[in-house]
Amino acid sequence: MKNTKHSSTGNLNHQPHSGPQTSLEAQESKWGPRPPTPPGIRTAAREYANPVEYDHPYESMDRFADFLALRYDANRTRHSYYRQLRLIHQHLACDPATLTEAQLRDYFLFVKLQKHWKPKSIRQALAAAKMFFVDLLSQPHWPVFSQIRTKDHDTLPAVLTRQQVRALLAQVRLRRYRTPLKLIYCCGLRLSECLGLTIHDIAGKENKLLIRQSKGNKDRVVPLPTPMYDELRRYWAFHRHPLLIFPNVGRGDHDPKSLAQRMHQATCPMPHSSLQRLLIIARKHLNVPAASVHSLRHSFATHLLEAGAHLHTIQKLLGHKQITTTMIYLHLTHQSAREALRLMDELCRSLPR
């Protein structure tokens, strides 16, 4: 690959590092268990600790942390449920084990009517309360647990047209940020899945990308378009990090040599907020309706469906457990709407005047 000048647009084709392995292909290995992570480097933007390691204000919360460690494998899941119990403790300023049913009912009224929590958050808090009071403390089944009902709001996710996607990506001038955004759209990745990629997750010759320990702690394989793989090769050739594809840029000089050195020595992936902030700026500049990085994933699924991809294929690509989750994109396709309008026109024309 030729060296090119690092322009003000953030071109990452410049190759300041030299060594025996000068390409991403040389770093790729056959898939299997991910090799041990080099010391001091993490592949997740945020590492969640096991709640058993927390400082617990009460013995009952210590027991709940042990309970979660036995029931769940992912620290993020353990943290989420423990956090819900901690919020109850902080709001009522007492040991959760001493709460009465009336106090717990008042707490859920507070988060629903005053804090305006979303249904998903209320369900998570309810699940944590059930585990703590019923499963751990063996409390009798309080009626409040069956009284709380939450229904998701029927809101459709924001989806961009292909033209809007192209305009948004073109608005992100620095290639070191534009490339991961392109990958999210081209492969339908979640933000955390994209930024957590390593050199061991790419099989470029097979046009495949391995997503490890995604939502639900599951792995999946997605196709990797050849142009996107070529761009990843150029991206990695700039910094040649020993593990990460998208290492943290850090702060400092923006000349190519300093930038590449910081990325090569990074100990964590690029932070989520970097891409989220830049996409918001681009969206506002183009007067595009509210959209986020995750909207690129929604747009990927919708555009594939419009192009004729099978719904079950899209389900596998996105890593959805239930087909009903994927079916929401049926409501978002412009092609379906146009076809419905054509049929409705025919029905109307057949009616007497």
**Cα 88 from Cα 99, distance rounded (Å):** 10
**Is 157-331 in the same CATH topology as 51-147?**
no
Whole-angstrom Cα Rg for the chain: 24
Q: DSSP 3-state assignment of 142?
A: coil
Q: Which of 56, 63, 130, 294 is catalytic?
A: 294
Cβ neighbors of 113 (< 8 A, separation 6 or more) are none
pLDDT of residue 19: 43
| Marked catalytic residue, from 78, 175, 241, 320 | 320
Determine which one of 56, 123, 190, 264 is catalytic: 190
Taking the whole predicted model, whether its pTM rises above 0.85 is answered as no
Catalytic residue among 82, 107, 177, 329: 329
User: Is 86 known to be catalytic?
Assistant: no
9-64 pLDDT, tens digit per residue, is 344 444 444 444 456 665 655 555 666 666 667 777 667 889 999 999 999 999 99
215, 220, 233, 264: the active-site residue: 215
Q: Is the dihedral of CA 57, 58, 62, 65 positive or negative?
A: negative
> 96-99: long-range contacts at Cβ-Cβ below 8 A with a sequence spacing of 24 or more?
96/58, 96/60, 96/61, 96/132, 97/58, 97/60, 97/137, 99/133
Query: How far is it, in rounded angstroms, from Cα 120 to Cα 234?
Result: 41
The domain locations on the chain are 51-147, 157-331
**Cα dist from 297 to 157, 275, 278, 314, whole Å:** 10, 14, 16, 11
Q: What is the dihedral of CA 140, 141, 144, 145, to 10 degrees?
A: 140
Q: Which tokens is 120 given?
A: 């998903």
DSSP letters spanning 278-295: HHHHHHHHHTPPS--HHH
* 294 catalytically annotated: yes
Query: Of 178, 240, 297, 298, which one is the catalytic site residue?
Result: 297
Helix/strand/coil for 222:
strand
122, 112 in Cβ contact below 8 A?
A: yes
Average pLDDT over residues 55-83: 95
Q: What is the CATH number of domain 157-331?
A: 1.10.443.10
Express each pLDDT in 130-152 by its tens digit: 999 999 999 878 999 999 998 87
Active site residue 190: yes
Q: Which CATH number fits domain 51-147: 3.30.465.10, 1.10.150.130, 1.10.260.40, 2.60.40.740?
A: 1.10.150.130
Q: Known catalytic residue: 297?
A: yes
pLDDT of the residue at 258: 92
